[in-house]
Amino acid sequence: MSKIVAFNHIHLFVHDVERSVAFYKAVLGLKGPVLKDERGTVSYLRSPEGADLVTLSDYSTDKVGQMGGVDHIGFKLVSEDDLDNVIDMAEKMGGQHYESALIEGTRTAFFTDLDGYRIQLSML
């Protein structure tokens, strides 16, 4: 039987790659280039630790914001101050904070990005 080693990436279709890259860089601190290829514009964004990959492209803009059965994308943060700062920045950049909760004793918050994708933040 084959075994996976780790989660590799998630690919999101967005209306404007450069605008979405600015959002994810400012809000979550992701880093990566914006590239052009034969299909359009794409960006490969990594978390500061380099393990997680979020790919953004304009390859299929008719599917933007459709989660296809996926409820949300989750990220872990180090401190409660980080959680508050991320929510503040998301709202300043045009995202919408829509829920905060205590889940199994862990403070958690949810917001949408510029294209309506739902993001969950929780503490380590």
pLDDT at 24: 96
Question: What is the pLDDT tens value at each position of the chain, 124 positions in all?
Answer: 667 667 788 999 999 999 999 999 999 999 999 999 999 999 999 988 777 899 999 999 888 888 776 889 998 888 888 889 999 999 999 999 999 998 888 899 999 999 999 999 998 7
pLDDT at res. 48: 83
Phi, psi of 7 (to 5 degrees): -70, 135
pLDDT at 52: 83
CATH number of 10-123: 3.10.180.10
Q: What is the pLDDT of residue 35?
A: 96
CA–CA gap between residue 99 and residue 65 (Å, rounded) = 18
